[in-house]
Amino acid sequence: MTLDAKIPQGPLAEKWSKHKFDLKLVNPANKRKYDIIIVGTGLAGASAAATLGELGYNVKAFCFQDSPRRAHSIAAQGGINAAKNYQNDGDSVFRLFYDTIKGGDYRARESNVHRLAEVSVNIIDQCVAQGVPFAREYGGLLDNRSFGGSQVSRTFYARGQTGQQLLLGAYSALNRQIHAGKVKMYTRHEMLDVVTIDGHAKGIVTRNMLTGAIDTHAGHAVLLCTGGYSNVFYLSTNAIGSNVTAAWRAHKRGAFFGNPCYTQIHPTCIPVTGDHQSKLTLMSESLRNDGRVWAPKTVEIAEQLRKGTLKADQVKEDDRDYFLERKYPAFGNLVPRDVASRNAKEMVEEGKGVGGSGFAVFLDFADAIKRLGEETVKAKYGNLFDMYIQITDENPYKQPMRIYPAVHYTMGGLWVDYNLSTTIPGLYALGECNFSDHGANRLGASALMQGLSDGYFVIPYTLGDYLAKIGPKKVDTNHPAFAATKKDVVDHVNKLLALKGTKTTNEYHRELGHIMWEYCGMARTDEGLRKAKGLIQALKADFWKNAIVTGENEEVNASLERAGRVADFIELGELMIDDALMRKESCGGHFRVESQTADGEALRDDENFAFVAAWEFKGENQPEELHKEQLTFEAVHLSQRNYA
Amino acid sequence: MSNGNMNLTLKVWRQKNAQTSGKFVSYKAENISPDMSFLEMLDVVNESLTHKGDEPINFDHDCREGICGMCSLYINGHPHGPKRGITTCQLHMRTFHDGETITIEPWRAEAFPIVKDLAVDRSAFDRIQQAGGYVSVNTGGVPDGNAIPIPKVIADEAFNSATCIGCGACVAACKNASAMLFVSAKITQLGLLPQGQPERYRRVQSMVAQMDEEGFGSCTNTGACEAECPKEIKLTNIARMNNDYFSAKLFREDEVHEQGH
């Protein structure tokens, strides 16, 4: 099949307006004849469920947590971008669009990104109207801060808990529709497959995580809002439950997977302390507004710091290398995430890492505290500092934080066209779950923007067009496709439960994570990736022979849940390796050692790689087929990114 | 896999489901590192149980950074353990000492039935929010964000209430299993903000009615909820809620009645 991104004709700035007019509408009285299934209740899922319920559709929403409010969007800290230009500092829709395209290293689709920038302003208005308590100035108006990859202040925030407040806003809108009977909420349910009839998505199969009941649900369309797959690395800033299963099972039913190797390594996370570690904790990018990143100038000083014979605050100013400020004077500490991460890694490789393990650099607030006072710093970042103290037992008001990059976000995801439709008609992907807006690197404060943009302002329009075209004929779970898909799910569950080997699924997951981090992490080589492919294939074979899964299906069974997710992560890991091998250029978060500039920056190859890689599943243990969506740029000129 | 030097005894509540009765079972947690979080310590115990073919201890958890509200655990008589202002996932083993016996129970409240072992069903909280914890605005057609100026002190105060993570520690801490701190936090957040005014008195009545229907107890002003709240939500929220509730009951029945659905 050929990929059609369905990008509307016409000038970039008019595409979305024109498209909205061209889309078919479902009249208000007919909307109640349509059933919509939404999987995941983070920013994208909750906002879509609430909005579609308000419009009059019948919505069934699913989440694996005990409440829709727990989705991992809740953990986003720093903020949400919007081209409001409230600060009068030169922002505009075009500038937000431009920064996002450039930040993504020219590997995103122009039309989608422009639409995102356009609707960004509506998101802020919507959230304020819901009662989201954004930070404000003394005059009562909204406050902004700066984020990486931009030279304007366009980030709206709610202390260090912006994701929480935005999600609770969307959750409240969702609750209102649940109360009104327009949304039926299924908590502690995990989606295990998509049901297709004549090539169209018509429902899902779920497992009730309390009783083990495997059920089918029918609808006119299915929306996957199931987040990213950072947990393929085992250690990431994602929640423990975050997983790829819904997206992966959809992929195996025919939804192409876009740019799987594009993962974001966030520069400022709390370093790993030992093998027991179950997750990594992010320290918001907003800290780089006031914190200065540095490493000791010499290996000797670094050694003393590692041994503890020298304390960070005893290192003389002349012996410190503020490497981001030195190399990138224009953006300083606020370079994009991929650039900041790679530079920290470089310092560590040169032997200048600090902390017990040597895998860390400093993020120092001494100057900010001197300039602003401890109280102001506390008001801005207090909750982050508290979290740091809890985890490390060190006080960042007195000594610099130790930070190191960690996997944080996946730009790749299910391939979608301009309407957010996957290659299975009727199956949509929203938010982090899709590949669409961030290219090869996402700018800070843009994930919340995209999730809410997709859910509140894009899907309500584009979904209507599809529904109007297929008509309201009832979809029934009595169709044999439902029974057949359910049987596949039951077989898969039984296959997992039969595993009574010697290694826990957690151990397999950790091993997978090691392989991915080592060979498909911050730097990737042809040789390493080839090796990793073999390692993953061996791991997969071993998993299906030697894993241990305890308990039964008909009960609460965390062991079974985990086993299914790890099995899917292993398969995804192999596809990520294939994608990274194929993409011989460097771009954004995908750094191929063979392709770099003289200064060690990511070197793109626009002639050969200015495309989206969309992978098609061809059967178990078969190589996937690569499809290319060529990226064309009309509004921006492709150039080597330069933040110096 | 563990790499520390602490050895502990755990007394853990095990219960298959709400229909069966439960009991304490003792486990050894060995070679625990003080840098582990409490949940990572339980991970270690569960890994060893799995290796033995035993069923791991079931507990709720997700983000492990103190914000999703999914983790619970009543540790040595305190919701989220002995330290103030944090969730269980942020509690680290350096808080305990080698050789200590730690008692781990689920939240205990009639309105939170046991799911399995240490996990409970907190869906009552969702139903209370569904009864009125929102501003009734549809997507689109709202005023510009800066068209609603809000004094910074009011916005900050509303934010303090909005930080509630819905974990249920307040209920677990209360001798009456009262949910009033949880309910009042949302009522206070929206009651302070101009956006929340039109539905202020209807909201308080419907949320309180749902709270009562779920079987939560009444407030006795003891303040255990405030002391144990990982987000340090203040007792003054309850005072505000009571104020709005009485005001609604005494003077605004008609208004409330007309707005109700």
**Secondary structure (H, E, C), A376-390:** HHHHHHHHHHHHHHH
Q: Please judge whether B56 and A550 are an interchain contact, meaning their C-beta atoms are less than 8 angstroms apart.
A: yes
Same domain, yes or no, for B97 and B161?
no
When pLDDT is averaged across residues B101-112 and rounded to a whole number, the result is 97
Q: Is residue A141 part of a domain?
A: no
Of B56, B70, B150, the CB nearest to A558: B56
CATH of the domain at A373: 3.90.700.10
Q: Does residue A244 form part of some domain?
A: no
Considering only residues A432 and A601, tell me which one the structure prediction assigns the higher pLDDT. Answer: A432
Residues 6+ apart with CB under 8 A from B186: B129, B133, B161, B164, B207
Claim to verify: residue A282 and residue A400 sit in the same structural domain? yes
Contact list in A for residue B156 (CB cut-off 8 A) is: 133
Largest CA distance in chain B: 66
Is residue B80 located within the same domain as residue B207? Answer: no
How far apart (Å, rounded) are the C-alpha atoms in residues B59 and A146? 39
Q: Do B44 and B36 contact (CB within 8 A), yes or no? A: yes
pLDDT tier for residue B71 given thresholds of 50, 70 and 90? very high
pLDDT tens digits, A232-241? 999 999 999 9
A125 Cβ under 8 Å from any chain B Cβ: yes
Average pLDDT over residues A516-537: 97
Count of other CB atoms within 10 angstroms of residue A518? 13
Residue type, A565: R
Residues A378 and A486 in one domain: no
* For residues B151-177, average pLDDT: 97
Contact (CB<8Å) A504/B50: yes
Whole-number Å distance between alpha carbons of A4 and A6: 5
Whether residue B134 and residue A142 make contact (CB cut-off 8 A), yes or no, is: no
Helix B200-213, helix B236-251: angle, nearest 10: 110
Tell me: do B106 and B136 sit in the same domain.
no
Residue found by looking up tokens 């009309």 in the block? A634
Indicate whether A502 and A379 sit together in one domain: no
- With CA atoms as reference, report the closest residue to B114 among A172, A404, A210: A210
- Residue range B202-215: mean pLDDT, rounded: 97
- A497 touches B at CB < 8 Å: no
Domain span including residue B109: 6-116
How many CB atoms neighbour CB A1 within 10 A?
9
Q: Which of A405, A430, A447 is the last residue of a domain?
A: A405
CATH of the domain at B251: 1.10.1060.10
Q: How far is A142 from chain B (nearest CA, A)?
A: 6
Task: State how many domains chain A has.
Answer: 2
**What confidence score (pLDDT) does residue B261 get?**
45
Q: Chain B residue with minimal CA distance to A64?
A: B62
Q: What is the pLDDT of residue B1?
A: 41
A70-124 pLDDT, tens digit per residue, is 999 999 988 999 999 999 999 999 999 999 999 999 999 999 999 999 999 999 9
A541: number of Cβ within 10 Å: 12
Contact by Cβ (8 Å): B174, B224: yes
B66 and B186 inside one domain: no
Residues of the domain holding A548: 480-611
- Residue B59 phi, psi dihedral angles, 5° rounding: -145, 155
- A194 falls within a domain: no
**Are residues B97 and B197 located together in one domain of the fold?**
no
Across the interface, of B62, B131, B190, the residue whose CB is closest to A179 is B131
For A239, which residue in chain B has the nearest alpha carbon? B63
**From A198-202, A386-390, B2-6, B48-52, the region with the lowest mean pLDDT:** B2-6
What is the sign, positive or negative, of the torsion defined by CA atoms of A203, A207, A209, A210? Answer: positive
Residues B131, B243, single domain; the answer is yes
Give the model confidence (pLDDT) of A584-614 as tens digits. 999 999 999 999 998 888 999 999 999 999 9
Query: Is the domain of A387 the same as that of A497?
Result: no
Q: Is residue B1 part of a domain?
A: no
A337 is annotated as an active-site residue: yes
The residue of chain B with its CA nearest to that of A134 is B155
Indicate which CATH number applies to the domain containing B62. Answer: 3.10.20.30
Q: How many domains is chain B built from? A: 2
What average pLDDT does the segment A521-532 reach? 97
Q: Are A93 and A85 in contact (CB under 8 A)?
A: no
- Tokens 């800066």 sit on residue: B146
Instruction: Give yes or no: residues B59 and B103 share one domain.
Output: yes
Summarize pLDDT for A232-289 with one digit per residue, the tens.
999 999 999 999 999 999 999 999 999 999 999 999 999 998 888 999 999 988 899 8
**Domain-located, residue B59:** yes
**Percent of chain A residues topping a pLDDT of 90:** 92
My answer on whether B133 and B106 are in the same domain is no
- Residue A148 resides in a domain: no
Q: Which residue has the higher pLDDT, A438 or A145?
A: A438
- Residue from A115, A159, A253, A337 carrying the catalytic annotation: A337
* Chain A contact probe: residue of B83, B130, B182 with most A CBs at under 10 A: B130
- A488 and A381 co-located in one domain: no
Distance from CA of B240 to the nearest CA of A (A): 18
CATH of residue A587 = 1.20.58.100
Say if residue A321's pLDDT is above 80.
yes
CA dihedral B188, B193, B195, B196 (to 10 degrees): 20
Could you tell me the sign of the dihedral formed by the alpha carbons of A432, A438, A441, A442, in that order?
Answer: negative
The residue out of B98, B116, B134 marking a domain boundary is B116
Average pLDDT, chain A: 96
Task: For an interface test with B, give the residue of A240, A242, A548, A557 to mutate (most B CBs within 10 A).
Answer: A240
User: For A427, phi and psi rounded to 5 degrees?
Assistant: -110, 120
Mean pLDDT of chain B: 95
**How close is the nearest chain B Cα to the Cα of A324, in Å?**
28
The Cβ of residue B98 has, within 10 Å, a number of other Cβ atoms equal to 12
A47 near A173, Cβ under 8 Å?
A: yes
ipTM for the assembly = 0.97
Q: Which of these three, B82, B116, B150, is where a domain ends?
A: B116
**In this structure, is residue A393 part of a structural domain?**
yes
Contact status, residue A84 vs residue A209, Cβ threshold 8 Å? no
> What does the radius of gyration of chain A's CA atoms come to, in whole angstroms?
24
The C-alpha of B129 sits at a distance from chain A's nearest C-alpha, in angstroms, of 7
pLDDT band, very low/low/confident/very high, at B27 (cuts 50, 70, 90):
very high
Same domain, B126 and B201: yes
Window 604-623 of A, Cβ < 8 Å to B? none
Confidence of residue B255 (pLDDT cuts 50, 70, 90): low
| Same domain assignment for residues B132 and B12 | no
Query: Per-residue confidence at B257, pLDDT binned at 50, 70, 90?
Result: low
Q: How far apart are CA A70 and CA A75, in angstroms?
A: 9
Pick the last residue of a domain from B116, B139, B156.
B116
* Most distant CA atoms of chain A, gap in Å: 75
